[in-house]
Structure formats: structure tokens, C-alpha cells
A = this chain, B = another copy of it.
Amino acid sequence: MARSSTNLRYRILNQARQTLVSEGYRALSMRRLANSVGCTATSIYLYFQNKDALFHALIDEGIGLLHQKLVQAGQSAGQAKDRLQDLAEAFLDFGLKNPEYYEVMFLLHPEHMERYPAEKYRKARENLEFFAQALAEDAGRPQNPTKEDRLQANVVWASLHGAVSLLLAGRVDVRLDQKLFLNTLVKQFIQPTSP
């Protein structure tokens, strides 16, 4: 096979992402992936320790992408409540528009895959911190999220994750209006300004 000029690792990762998005998790085998990228299955092992490591690389990408979207959403000036709303919407939007990314990131857990290395969770924690900050500010203690804010951030996170994962799995009653469902969910943790 012709020695490829460009970085093979890069091409493998690209193809993996593409296959994952277009044909789903099941279609992603080492041999098939190798085939569509133009090398042998074992070559992949030169760049990734194993199949899980490949997925981890995709998780990296996914976390980066989500991070980016949350940074954007978090930049909106104005009330903390609005920022919180924007953050929530950004998360939901990311999840629903990138189902395959979302799947590798949050739905393929340790039972099926080697644990995603803890030291790489920094960005993931940062993502959570955005929520904590908006919550802190909203509660009138800007700049320094307390333990309580972080707790609340986790709750918000869990709710959003629950909604996305149920929707992606097709487990929410189809007769339900999806937008209404998500709005109601978001309102649940965005308390109206106390009268």
C-alpha cells in the first residue's frame, strides 16, 4: 500500500469520527476503519494503544468541542440568569446535535470501555465550573463558587444529561413536545427572581 504522505494518526481519527457519526458505534471495527483509511488494522496500533484509546481520543475532541460551545455561551454579557440559561441551552444543543460524540463521551461507560484517564478530566471539570460560576453569580456571590454552588452545578448537569440521554435513546414519549420538555426542565433549576 502506498506510503501516505500525511499523518496517518490524523487520518485515522478523522475517519473514525466520520464513521461514528454516519454509521454509528457498531460499524466502527478496527479492520473496517483501517480499510476506509487505506491501511491495515494493525497500523492503527502504532498510533493508539487499543480501541479504547481511540475512543478516548474522540472523547478528547468531544470535550473540547463542548468546552468551546460553553465558552461561547458563557461569554454573553447581562444577567447571570440569562447566562445560566444560555449555558444550559448550549449543552442541550451540543448533545442533541452531536449524538455520536455525546455517546462516546457520556454513554459508553467503564463497563464497556477502559476508564477515561482521570487526569484528562480537567477540561470536563472546567465545563462544570462554568455552571457553578453562573449559579454563584446568580445567587449573589460572584467570582467564587462555593461548595453549594458546585453541588447545584452537579444537579443541573445531571438533569441536563438525563434529558439528553433519554432523548437520544428515544425514550421520551414522542407525543411530548421536545422544546417544551427541555424548557420545562431548564426552568426547574432556574428559579424566577424572588418577588
- Tell me if A36 is interfacial: C-beta within 8 Å of chain B: no
The 10 closest A-B pairs by CB, nearest first: A162-B162, A109-B169, A158-B162, A159-B159, A161-B162, A158-B163, A155-B185, A25-B111, A155-B184, A158-B166
Do B109 and A168 touch (CB < 8 A)? yes
A184 CB to closest chain B CB (Å) equals 5
- Tell me if A176 is interfacial: C-beta within 8 Å of chain B: yes
- Tell me if A65 is interfacial: C-beta within 8 Å of chain B: no
Do A112 and B26 touch (CB < 8 A)? yes
With contacts A107-B107, A111-B25 taken as known, whether A181 is within 8 angstroms of B160 at the C-beta atoms is no
Do A176 and B151 touch (CB < 8 A)? yes
Chain A interface residues (CB < 8 Å from chain B): 24-26, 103, 106-107, 109-112, 115, 125, 128, 150-152, 154-155, 157-163, 165-166, 168-173, 176, 180-181, 184-185, 188-189
Q: DSSP class of A's interface residues: helix, strand, loop or mixed?
A: helix
A78 CB to closest chain B CB (Å) equals 24
Do B173 and A154 touch (CB < 8 A)? yes
Interface pairs (19), CB distance under 8 Å: A25-B111, A26-B112, A110-B169, A151-B176, A151-B184, A154-B172, A155-B163, A155-B184, A155-B185, A155-B188, A157-B162, A157-B166, A158-B172, A159-B185, A159-B188, A161-B165, A165-B165, A188-B188, A188-B189
